[in-house]
Amino acid sequence: MRIIVKNKETLLFDEFHFRCCVGKNGFNKNKKEGDNTTPKGLFHIGDIFYRADKVKKPISNLKSIIIKKNMGWCDDPKSKSYNKLIKITKNLNVRHEKLFRKDNKYDIFILIKYNYKKIVKNKGSAIFLHLTKNYLPTKGCIALKKSDFLILCKLITKKTKIIIN
C-alpha cells in the first residue's frame, strides 16, 4: 500500500481521503535546504516519534520512539550529522530542529526517508509527516490533523511508501 500526496491539500491511502498541507512553496523535484518546498518522489517511511507526556503511544505496526527533551534533527549541511537524529547538548554547535516543542506539531510524527540513506548536503532534511491544527503551509513537511494522523498510523506498515506528486 502507498500513501499518495495528490496535491497541496489531499493525502490518499486506500479509500481514505485526508486533508493535508505541504511546503509553503509547493513541490520540488530538486529540493534544497531551506527552500520551503516538499520533495517530489517515492520514499520509504521510518519510525513514529511521539511525546509520551502529551499523547498516548499511537496504535501502529511501525516502531515507536518516545521524544525526549534533548532530541533534535540536524539540518546543518556543514555537519556530519546532517539529516540525522541527534542529541542536543549545551556544547552542540550545529543548526537543528528541536523535536520536543511547545507547539503540537511534533507531538507525533513519522519520518519520511527523504535524502536519508545516501545523504547529499543541502538537498533538504527533517522531512516529516506531522500534525497541524490550521493547515497552514509547512517548511517542507506534510501535515495532517491529529485524528486523521492517528487513523493513518493504524493503517500503514514498514512496507508502506509515500508518493509525493
pLDDT tens-digit series, residues 3-61:
999 999 999 999 999 999 999 999 999 999 999 999 999 999 999 999 999 999 999 99
The residue assigned the cell 513519522 is: 110
pTM: 0.96
Domains of the chain by residue range: 2-164
| CATH level 2 (architecture), domain 2-164 | Beta Barrel (2.40)
- What stretch of H or E contains 44? strand 41-50
pLDDT tens-digit series, residues 76-135:
999 999 999 999 999 889 999 999 999 999 999 999 999 999 999 999 999 999 999 999
Can you spell out the DSSP letters for 124-162? ----EEEE-SS---BSS-EEE-HHHHHHHHHH--TT-EE
